[in-house]
Amino acid sequence: MIGIVMRFRIDYFLRGKERWWCCEASTDTLSLDDALLALITLHMSYEDQVLRVDLPRTSALDHIQLAKELGISDVRVSPSITKNPDL
């Protein structure tokens, strides 16, 4: 089975400063909720992550609220280069 890895660029603001982050996923789309979850996990402290073990199971509205608390806003997802290093 040949796997396809898709790269995504997530543009966002963190406390008013423009940032971006690239990630890979084995899907052809990355939902805004998945992007928010990735950014929340990236910017949460380790202690906060331990306290919120159920983070992936929280609702999209909870993700939006957590993102606001962390200062994350204006999240945009765009596909980047499709590449499979095993081909």
End-to-end CA distance of the chain: 11
- Is beta strand 6-14 parallel, antiparallel or unpaired with respect to 17-25? antiparallel
Please give the pLDDT value at position 21. Answer: 92
Distance between CA atoms of residues 27 and 19, nearest Å: 23
Please give the pLDDT value at position 52. Answer: 62
> Taking the complete model, does pTM exceed 0.85, yes or no?
no
Please give the pLDDT value at position 20. Answer: 94
- For the segment 60-76, the average pLDDT, to the nearest whole number, is 88
Q: Is the dihedral of CA 69, 67, 9, 53 positive or negative?
A: positive
Q: What is the pLDDT of residues 23-65, one digit of tens each?
A: 888 877 888 888 998 898 888 876 666 556 566 666 777 888 8
* 74, HSE (Cβ side, Cα atoms, 13 Å): 10
Q: Where are the domains of the chain?
A: 6-82
